Structure 1
């Protein structure tokens, strides 16, 4: 598909997302009710690649980003079309541009309800539901069982210690992303016998803080890795995006003052994305919808 598209009486051109004023990207996300701040957009531009749909006078009507993890896999996110062009084929055109740039990579994304049928028509298959738990963290936090292991903080300089663990849980190497996330995050690591068996990050995002990624091998480890951050966030807005709807981890989130605000669908094109195994590391909390 061409790198321009005609929408009604004007033509849109694909432009590199780094060549656009972040204020225009912020206005685009505000227009569809997404919480991304200008600094969130700046971070995402450092973490991945993207294009925007602009007209002849520089107005932004859409965006799409992709985040490659090696040569075989990428996640897609920040696919936004302004309300004015949502029914004009701009979203499909943006996705075709992404496909062209991603080549033969297997792809995954988290789809809103509004975009779900578009992604189905583009060959994506639903794998799971993501639950957006959010709210003000209660004080005091709910009690947790005795910890099996030791929790400690991790510095950015030592981020390599959790890279292999994250790759086992996620299915691809995210070392670059983890390093970028760590620059503005608090990181907790769970160790048993001196070995890292889980970790979590807390960082500012949108209306407050997001806890994610959270990587653990069972619900109780995930609870501890979340609780260690929640204790510092009493009364503040917190978000945890997880594929856990029920169970011990979901119960803990509810007891902590969070509720399911919305859902999105994890979808893949090419090789299946999710591969959960019993007693193996699993991504309990997403780094973000676009980052997965």
Structure 2
């Protein structure tokens, strides 16, 4: 007989209760992420609440001491993120308690998340398997002056509402799962550039406000030159300001460009999966689009 996770958890001299992330005051959620040094603004939390679902661990007076969210894409897959426990609870089993509640809510789905070093042991104990390193690249953006970039095939222009369907299809080809609602939501909050071969969208990059400045992502393209063609305009737009991009690419022209653009590697996390792995990390050949940059570490 399967045992359901409990609605409360006893921690030392106090108890936590579970709440819905939609019902918790944004400032309390913001205070939670600040407590662990994460850069999310209240506005970033609101974007995530509008894009997914989640639980919050609350103490007796309603303070948020932990959180965990999931973002479904279709009937069989979801990404997991914003798994936070306050420093007071990090050795008390609260994160495992929250994760098991997610398992109970969306049983049978294939899951993916990006794990910090501190959380990897937890996720391994929950049967998540390592996939690939994510490089968090950030800093004050500048347009590189040295070197001649390899020419992309096609022309770059600003993305418009009429390009959403093509971006959804290209993202699905690169990521491995169709993320219709998320890409539509990102278009509402982002500026975007697309590379077009005639009327066909072959690469795109979105950029939106996040944390200390702006974040570029997702970026989907078939090659380094194509990815750079749609990322370079965002770097120019934000030259002199804080810019971030999260990528699995650790070498080649794309990775070198980020470093030369004032965005060296700041930190790393590890992409991990539970259940069936997506096809985006497999060797699909040069013709297959790749996800050059994540929408975010939370969203994948």
TM-score range (shorter-chain normalised) is over 0.9
Residue number in structure 1 paired with 2:15: 11
Residue number in structure 1 paired with 2:189: 184
User: Does residue 116 of structure 2 align to residue 109 of structure 1?
Assistant: no
Mapped contact 2:208–2:214 kept (Cα < 8 A): yes
User: What's the secondary structure of 1:148's corresponding residue?
Assistant: coil
User: What's the secondary structure of 2:262's corresponding residue?
Assistant: coil
Shift of 1:208: 0.6
> Which of 123, 126, 132 is the aligned partner of 2:130?
126
Residue number in structure 2 paired with 1:52: 56
Shift of 1:278: 2.0
Q: Select between 274-283 and 165-174 the one with higher mean Cα deviation.
A: 274-283
Shift of 1:13: 1.1
Question: Which runs of 4 or more aligned residues in structure 1 lie more than 4 Å from their structure 2 counterparts after TM superposition?
Answer: 139-143
Q: Select between 57-66 and 146-155 the one with higher mean Cα deviation.
A: 146-155
User: What's the secondary structure of 1:62's corresponding residue?
Assistant: strand
> Which of 165, 168, 171 is the aligned partner of 1:166?
171
> Which of 25, 28, 51 is the aligned partner of 2:29?
25
Residue number in structure 1 paired with 2:232: 227
Residue number in structure 2 paired with 1:275: 281
Residue number in structure 2 paired with 1:291: 299
Cα distance in 2 for residues equivalent to 1:157 and 1:60: 40
Shift of 1:144: 2.5
Mapped contact 1:3–1:97 kept (Cα < 8 A): no
Residue number in structure 2 paired with 1:250: 255
Cα distance in 2 for residues equivalent to 1:173 and 1:3: 33
Shift of 1:275: 3.3
Shift of 1:194: 2.0
Deviations 1:68-106 (A, max 9, x none): 001100000000000001110001001001111111100
Q: Select between 139-148 and 33-42 the one with higher mean Cα deviation.
A: 139-148
Mapped contact 1:141–1:230 kept (Cα < 8 A): no
Shift of 1:160: 1.4
User: Does residue 207 of structure 2 align to residue 202 of structure 1?
Assistant: yes
Cα distance in 2 for residues equivalent to 1:98 and 1:156: 34
Shift of 1:145: 2.9
> Which of 21, 36, 40 is the aligned partner of 2:40?
36
Deviations 1:184-236 (A, max 9, x none): 21111111132111111011100011010000011111111110211111111
Given the two structures, how large is their TM-score scaled by the length of structure 2? 0.95
> Which of 83, 86, 99 is the aligned partner of 1:79?
83
Q: Select between 172-181 and 149-158 the one with higher mean Cα deviation.
A: 149-158
Aligned residue pairs, count:
292
Mapped contact 1:139–1:235 kept (Cα < 8 A): no
Cα distance in 2 for residues equivalent to 1:15 and 1:156: 36
Mapped contact 1:73–1:106 kept (Cα < 8 A): yes
Structure 2: gaps of 5 or more residues: none
Cα distance in 2 for residues equivalent to 1:53 and 1:141: 49
